Structure formats: C-alpha cells, structure tokens
A and B are shown apart, each in its own frame.
Chain A
C-alpha cells in the first residue's frame, strides 16, 4: 500500500485536473475562454498514474486532449490557464493555446492539434535518448482513434526495429470524436496492434491510478534498460463531449453513468480512507486547497495582458 505522501500527491493532481477542466468548461460557457478545448475530465488516473511511474526528466508528448498531461507533468496552473486564454503570460506566450500546450522545461514536448501528431516527435525523441545514452524514456500519449493513423504504424515499426525507449500509451476512451472503437477499428482489443511490430503490450484499468502506475512503471524500466518500446492501453472515459459543441448523441446516458460510477477520484479517495492512508478531512481539505489554486489561476489568467501586436512575427525562427 502506498504512503500518505504519494496518496496525497496523486489525489491532489487528479483533483487539480478535474477542477481545471470543469473550470475551463465554465469559462467557455461564459465566453471568457474562446476557441476550442478538449477536456480530460474522467481520464485523470491515466495522466497521474503514468507521470508517477516515470522520472521528472523523462519526456512526454501529448494530444489535443492534453491539459491533464500538462498538469501531471508539472505544468504550472496559472501559466496553463493563461495560455488557454491566449494571454502573453501563458506557457507558450499565447501562441499555442489549449491544443498546443507545451512546457519544454518539464519535458513536455507538447499537446498537438493533429490526431497522432505526437507519435513522430516521441519516436524521434526516443531515438535521440538512445543515441545520447541519457537513460531517459519517452511517453507518447494518444487515443484509440490515433491507432488507425498511418503514422502510428510507421512509428511503432521504427521504434521496434531500433529498440527505442518509448512507451506508446493509448488512452482508450472508446470514441474518436463520435465514432466508437467498434466502428473504427478492425480489432477492438487495441493491444493486438502491437503484435504486428513484435512489440510487447499490456492493458490496464485506466480508472485506477495505482493500476496505471504499476503497469507504466514496470514497462518504463523495461524501456529504460534498453529492451525496447511497449504499447500500453489504459481503458478510460471522457465525461465531456469531444469539444463543447458536442451533444454526445453517439453515447448513451446509461453508459456515461456506468463509467462515472467508477470515477477515479472518488474510488481512490474511498480506497485511501478505507485503508487508513488518508482521512476524510485530508481528502476534503485537498479538494478545497485545489479549488483555491484554480481560482487563483483564473484570476491570474484573466488579469494577464494579451500578447503585444509586435509579437506576431516573434519566435518564428531561432
């Protein structure tokens, strides 16, 4: 059983992500945030569990649904919030926004507006880590939809041939945008796709942060020791639609309720209290502290200035 320190850390991070995402939805509804956002609420255990299993200086690539990865990887809430609002104080100076969040300092090679867009970058980073003998691993996050992109196949093949230290982590939330895995993919068991590249694979419950951490940790060491890449599949669920304009007509309310009954925060909270690792007050207190953090981040972001017009052409070239 894990200790109090880790338990509080995982609970806090999952709550940060959940409250952050709920807040973004609220800001979008009130037109304080503009544009699009693809929210990670429901999937928190995957990001938190994976990041808990790897080292702070390992790399990740993220997806269009990347706020959770950013937060779990150590991104600062106020800079992330400001970026989503397109402000100059954002982690990408207001140039990237929700879909292209990045925090290179914490090893986050970026969210991506193209499905599968992080696969090439992650694979190359893995090659780079191997060539430079850094001992680091690269975690490549992508969804069930991306496993049908051509680049997925090119990259898994390349990583296997060259035995690159990459964890290909599929967050299977069962839908691309509106098309289910059943309707999009020739195999429903996505781990089967690894066998085409003679790559090991494992699946685990993505609603259980400790299960995610255990599986990710085991395979991170495998990759780190030079044994090659792995395909991991974590089954999870996104509570919100693909984006805010999605009425979710392709899912039943029963299905949504079923997944919510396995909520990763509630279940972890209960597990830790039952095991007497944490008290109810500690859990509630963590939630309140997170709420204050989120509110402060919003205040910071809203008060921050927009980019200066002169910045339009900045940072195009080094």
Chain B
C-alpha cells in the first residue's frame, strides 16, 4: 500500500480533477483561462494537455453563461466542473446559481438531478483589494438546494472535491487563494471525504474554536500559542458550510463549554451568526460563557497590507479573544 505524500493544496485539487476525469468520461471542466493558461492560480495546469480542449474548455468572460450552461449540461447527462475565477465574480452568475441551479430539482418534483460542481476561490492576503478578496459563503449558505464546501487542507481538498464531483447535487466548492501553496499529507490512492461532516483538527478541553478555510490554520496557530500558556484548545474545522455538521460542533461544546467562532468573512450576516444560533438552540445548557465571534471587518477589503491585515482575523486577535474567554 503506497504511503501518503506531502503535496500542495493546489496539487491536491489538480489531482482530484485529473483522477475524476480519468475515472468518468462525463466529467469535464470549463471556465476562464482554465485550459491553455492552466488557471489563474495554476490549479488546472496540465489538464488541457492531458485531456484536450473538448474536456477542458476555455470560455469567454461570461460568468452567468458559465454557470447556466454548466447547469444545462448537468441536467442532460454530463458532470461539469465549472470554474468562477474569483468568488467576487459569482455575483454575475447569481441568478443562475440561486434561481436555476438551486431550485430546478425541487421545482420539478425531483424529476431531475444536478451533478454540477462550481469551483471558485476567495479570501484576502494578496492585497488585491475589494473585488478580488472576498469571502462570500454566507450568500451561498442562504440558498436551499445547493451544498457549500470549503476545505482547509490538501487532504480535505482532494477528498471533498472528489465527493463533490461524484455527488448528484450542485456543490459550490470554495478554495482559498492563500491556501494554494500550503502543504499537507494526502492519503495515497482513491479516497473521498464526506460532504456535511466537520473534522476536529486539534483536540482540547478548555475552549472550542469553530473555523473554516484559511482560518482553521490561523486558529491552529493560536491554539499552539495558547497551549504554551497552559490552555487546551479544540479546533473544529467545519469543512462544509451547507449543510452544517452541528453534531460535531455540539459534541465539542459539550466537552469544553466555551465556543469561539472564527471566520474571515465580514461579521455582519456571516455564517458565525447561524452557527452561534444553532449552538444556542441545540446546546444552550452546555455553555458556561457567551459565544464569541472573531470575524472580518465590515468593510470592503482595503488594498493596503496594513489595512488588509486589520480587516481579517489574525492569530493575535484569536489568542486575545481566547484569553478573555478562558481568563
């Protein structure tokens, strides 16, 4: 049995795409600059050379048509993996996503299925400014009929993308631009990670931090520092935003009785509100302290690196908030 390998997050995504395309001739990719250019962040590099232009399609700059045509192909026998280059551009395709992709199965009494994956990426950290740095999962979490996945590690990225491609429901798969070059161990061979299941990335007893995407890594750094101060912090990686795995979250809260929710997306209207409310509904008696949110600033992402750093949660902010809860 071959050993696990250390690969970069982008390589894990690339491998999932290649393996699934090899496995199933119905799987194909389309999006802007995905073929010859290999993807704005190089995630699809090599796939055009390997699978050709029929199955790895460069499109025009037409986000609405990319998602809409992806839907049309998905309901007539194909399994498209379309790409929206920046999650910030998903807004152009929002009617297709919310009114068409998400609703077609239900409106048609279940007589159709939508095996569509929409890959995109978001997040700040490259000082790209307001139109290239957003975290918009809260928009998608509010749409019944789709699933929303945000892996934090290479292993999860590969396994979850395979699940998303094999899933007969539409999945919005949100990568993080600052995670692409992070490395991690990835199991050898074919494996999947279940959608809708959170993962305890670090066990602890004093405090639960619920996080997703890049903030999982930041929370883990915070937990390391807090450990040196004698506090035991458990980090729960949601992995899937819709549907939320509240069982895993509540089990953790049952252990620690204190919970902090961390997300890069701006605080107001962010998924932290939903998670917090579900903790109250499902585990009020478990809490020894109010639920705390450490989230992004309610501003468009500023360009300056000084301001950008202030606009997203940092290890320091997480540690400070944790000390306040543990003190």
Is A128 an interface residue, CB under 8 A from the partner?
Answer: yes
CB-CB < 8 A to A131: which residues of B? 28, 54, 73, 78
Complex Cα distance, B99 from A113, in Å, reads 9
Complex Cα distance, B76 from A90, in Å, reads 22
Complex Cα distance, B110 from A150, in Å, reads 29
Smallest CB separation, A26 vs chain B (Å): 25
Smallest CB separation, B249 vs chain A (Å): 21
Is B319 an interface residue, CB under 8 A from the partner?
Answer: no
**Partner among B60, B73, B103, B106 whose Cβ is within 8 Å of the Cβ of A128:** B73
Given contacts A104-B112, A117-B100, A316-B144, contact A123 B107 (CB under 8 A): no
CB-CB < 8 A to A138: which residues of B? 72
Smallest CB separation, B129 vs chain A (Å): 24
Is A122 an interface residue, CB under 8 A from the partner?
Answer: yes
Contact A121 B28 (CB under 8 A): no
Q: Mark A102-124, 1 if CB is under 8 A from B, else 0.
A: 10110001101110010111111
Contact A92 B59 (CB under 8 A): no
CB-CB < 8 A to A154: which residues of B? 60, 62, 64-65, 68
Contact A157 B106 (CB under 8 A): no
Q: Mark B49-93, 1 if CB is under 8 A from A, else 0.
A: 000001001011010110111111111111010000000000000
Is B145 an interface residue, CB under 8 A from the partner?
Answer: yes
CB-CB < 8 A to A93: which residues of B? 109-110
Contact A110 B107 (CB under 8 A): yes
Contact B69 A127 (CB under 8 A): yes
CB-CB < 8 A to A59: which residues of B? 76
Q: Mark A83-101, 1 if CB is under 8 A from B, else 0.
A: 0000000111111100010
CB-CB < 8 A to B54: which residues of A? 131
For A111, the closest partner residue in chain B by CB is B107
Is A252 an interface residue, CB under 8 A from the partner?
Answer: no
**Partner among A129, A155, A317 whose Cβ is within 8 Å of the Cβ of B169:** A317
Contact B72 A125 (CB under 8 A): yes
Complex Cα distance, B72 from A162, in Å, reads 15
CB-CB < 8 A to A150: which residues of B? 64
Contact B111 A119 (CB under 8 A): no
Q: How large is the interface on A (under 10, 10 to 19, 20 to 34, 35 or more residues)?
A: 35 or more
Contact B77 A104 (CB under 8 A): no
Contact B110 A121 (CB under 8 A): no
For B115, the closest partner residue in chain A by CB is A318
Complex Cα distance, B111 from A119, in Å, reads 20
What number of A-B contacts does a CB cutoff of 8 Å give? 140
Smallest CB separation, A47 vs chain B (Å): 20
Which positions 299-318 of chain A face chain B at CB distance < 8 Å? 314-318
Contact B68 A155 (CB under 8 A): yes
CB-CB < 8 A to B45: which residues of A? none
Given contacts A123-B65, A158-B59, contact A315 B109 (CB under 8 A): yes
Complex Cα distance, B111 from A93, in Å, reads 10
Q: Mark B95-122, 1 if CB is under 8 A from A, else 0.
A: 1100110011111111111100000000
Smallest CB separation, A150 vs chain B (Å): 6
Smallest CB separation, B164 vs chain A (Å): 13
Contact A120 B64 (CB under 8 A): yes
CB-CB < 8 A to B28: which residues of A? 131
Complex Cα distance, B69 from A145, in Å, reads 21
Contact A110 B104 (CB under 8 A): yes
Contact B69 A120 (CB under 8 A): yes
Is A229 an interface residue, CB under 8 A from the partner?
Answer: no
Is A278 an interface residue, CB under 8 A from the partner?
Answer: no
**Partner among B62, B72, B78, B112 whose Cβ is within 8 Å of the Cβ of A102:** B112
Contact B64 A124 (CB under 8 A): no
Smallest CB separation, B113 vs chain A (Å): 4
Contact A158 B65 (CB under 8 A): yes
**Partner among A100, A123, A127, A314 whose Cβ is within 8 Å of the Cβ of B108:** A100
Contact B69 A155 (CB under 8 A): yes
For B96, the closest partner residue in chain A by CB is A120
Complex Cα distance, B318 from A20, in Å, reads 64
Contact A128 B65 (CB under 8 A): no
CB-CB < 8 A to B111: which residues of A? 92, 102, 104-105
CB-CB < 8 A to B104: which residues of A? 110, 121
CB-CB < 8 A to A91: which residues of B? 109
Contact B108 A128 (CB under 8 A): no
Contact B109 A132 (CB under 8 A): no
Contact B100 A120 (CB under 8 A): yes
Can you list 24 A-B contacts (CB < 8 A)? A90-B109, A95-B107, A102-B108, A104-B108, A104-B112, A114-B99, A120-B64, A120-B67, A120-B96, A121-B71, A124-B71, A124-B75, A126-B72, A131-B28, A138-B72, A151-B64, A154-B62, A154-B65, A158-B60, A158-B69, A315-B109, A317-B169, A318-B113, A318-B114
Interface residues of A (CB under 8 A from B): 59, 90-96, 100, 102, 104-105, 109-110, 112-114, 117, 119-129, 131-132, 138, 150-151, 154-155, 157-158, 161-162, 314-318
Q: A102-B111, A120-B100 are in contact. List 20 more A-B contacts (CB 8 A).
A: A92-B108, A94-B109, A102-B107, A104-B111, A109-B75, A122-B72, A124-B69, A124-B75, A125-B72, A125-B75, A125-B76, A127-B72, A128-B72, A132-B78, A150-B64, A155-B65, A158-B59, A158-B62, A162-B57, A316-B144
10 tightest A-B contacts by CB? A120-B68, A124-B72, A315-B110, A93-B109, A124-B69, A154-B65, A92-B109, A318-B168, A154-B62, A100-B107
